[in-house]
Amino acid sequence: MTIVGQAGQSVNYKGLEVVATGIERAQNVALIDCPPTTNSQRGNARAGEEFVVVSLAFKVTPAFKETIVKKPVLTDASGKVYNTSVAIIDPGSQPEYKCSFPFRVATGTKVASVQIDTASIDLASLEKK
Amino acid sequence: MEIDRRAFIASLGGTAAVSMMDSEAKADALEHWMEESLDEQAAAAQGGTPEKFPTVAELDAQIETRNYRRGTGNVFVNTRGNVKKLEAMPKNPTLQDFFRLRFAPANHVLQSATRALKTGMSEEIILACLLHDCAQALMKADHGWWGAQLFEPYIPEKSAFGIRYHQALRFYADPDAGYEYPDLYYRIFGQDYTPPPHIEATYKMLRNHKWYMEPRMVTVNDLYAFDPNAKVSIEPFTDIIGRHFKSPKEGLGNDNSPSAHMWRTLGNPDAPL
């Protein structure tokens, strides 16, 4: 079953409430797992590429049971899927947190949605015009 | 904040210039340096002016400013002063003994393995992550190959494969697998660095290898294991070591394995010959 939500609205995935709060584009991004750590490494896009950085806010509800939560994937307007290097680790360790997930895409790629396993959040409305 | 001592001294005009400064001037200079560094990091984090990385030529120009080679193993050199007397190894040393007495603090490899464990990776990959940079105690240059050789008499073939070839894969981004090219390599190899032909050939071989993901996952966890605030220990890996590391009863270095001499060197790096 796919759970579908709009940007700004929360989607409940196995007891985790997830909200997409923003999209930014960058050439150089912090490589920090989720919930955020203080890892010091940064990643770089190559010429002709950029990172789409999707910000997601998480809220852990009582229904959440500790489990391995899959990494988000990004789908662009043409249906192509992109992976992120950021992993969700110990998702129940904090009641609420915000994370940034960088996805390396060709410069100017229009994004459509982000998915965590069966949960999907529409991102089109977050794209800056 | 971690201070790059060499860069700091160079910014002041070198050791000769520093030796002429009084304590107050040095303290002021250090404070100024730290403020600037913090500002640069903050700007970079907010998408501002990115850090300026050295070129290969600039890094080469530093060679004769040091009294050691960059590829030297950690147990042989202390870039910030004299080396310390090492605690003797037990009579029949185990891997854990080497972690405690020669690889310590080993934060980076412990963080890397912890991430592999928490993201549900195979035990062969977790073990590879735990061991992937340990050979840097012995030799930094070509540490993937040295590390695989050090450990392969004792560990699964897949783990040794992961250790050996993470050295080549780290230079090649693979966003599908979740690996980005890190700033760290711009900083330590130079922003215009291109891997030598044998690394390029190894990468091409690995792209078509059925075990590609073993070394690739080592590089993925490698990236996320530079957290100065992470609290890690070797305890969570005791069972995995027990299951996969064939610890010789005579102790590492005493077992006449093909890499026993490497363990003996790590055990006693003060041996004159």
Residue B176 CB: number of other CB atoms within 10 A? 11
Q: Please tell me the predicted confidence (pLDDT) of residue B3.
A: 56
Domain extents in chain A: 3-126
Q: How far is B174 from chain A (nearest CA, A)?
A: 9
Give chain A's contact residues with B (Cβ, < 8 Å): 24, 26-33, 37-44, 46, 68, 71, 82-87, 89-90, 102-104
Question: Closest approach of chain A CAs to the CA of B113, in angstroms?
Answer: 13
The reported pLDDT for the residue numbered B80 is: 85
Query: For residues B180 and A8, what is the distance between their CA atoms, to the nearest angstrom?
Result: 29
pLDDT tens per residue across all 273 residues of chain B: 555 665 556 555 555 555 555 555 555 555 545 545 544 554 455 455 567 899 999 999 999 999 999 999 999 999 888 999 999 999 999 999 999 999 999 999 999 999 999 999 999 999 999 999 999 999 999 999 999 999 999 999 999 999 999 999 999 999 899 999 999 999 999 999 999 999 999 999 999 999 999 999 999 999 999 999 999 999 999 999 999 999 999 999 999 999 999 999 999 999 999
Query: Rounded distance, CA B195 to CA B201, Å?
Result: 10
- Is residue A82 within 8 Å of residue A112, measured between CB atoms? no
Average pLDDT, chain A: 91
The fold adopted by the segment(s) A3-126 is Immunoglobulin-like (2.60.40)
Closest chain B residue by Cα to residue A53:
B47
- pTM (predicted TM-score): 0.85
Q: Do B224 and A43 touch (CB under 8 A)?
A: no
Instruction: State the alpha helices, DSSP H only, in chain B.
Output: 5-11, 15-19, 23-45, 56-60, 95-98, 107-118, 123-131, 143-151, 157-169, 183-189, 197-207, 213-223, 238-244, 260-267
Residues 111-130 of B with CB under 8 A from A: 115, 118-120
- Region of residue B250 (left: phi > 0; alpha: psi -120 to 50; beta: else): alpha
Element (H, E) at B141: none
Distance between A91 CA and the closest CA of chain B, angstroms? 11
- In this complex, the residue of B44, B115, B180 whose CB is nearest that of residue A43 is B180
When CB atoms are compared, the residue of A37, A44, A71 closest to B227 is A37
Q: How many CB atoms lie within 10 A of CB A7?
A: 19
For residue A38, the model assigns a pLDDT of 93
**The tokens 């899959």 sit on which residue?**
A70
Q: CA-to-CA distance for B206 and B209, rounded, in angstroms?
A: 5
pLDDT tens profile A99-120: 999 999 999 999 999 999 999 9
Q: What pLDDT, in 10s, does the model give residues B13-35?
A: 555 555 555 555 555 555 545 54
Describe the crossing of helices B157-169 and B123-131 by its angle, rounded to 10 degrees: 60
Distance from CA of B234 to the nearest CA of A (A): 19
CA distance to A75, B57, B164, B186, per residue, from B54 (Å): 36, 8, 27, 7
Give per-residue pLDDT as tens, B189-212: 999 999 999 999 999 999 999 999
- What is the chain B residue with the closest CA to A105? B175
Residue with tokens 């923003």: A22
Q: Which of B115, B178, B227 sits opposite A83 (nearest CB)?
A: B178
Q: Which residues contact B144 (CB under 8 A, 6 or more apart)?
A: B132, B135, B163, B164, B165, B166, B167, B168
Q: Which residues pair with A111 in a beta bridge?
A: A76
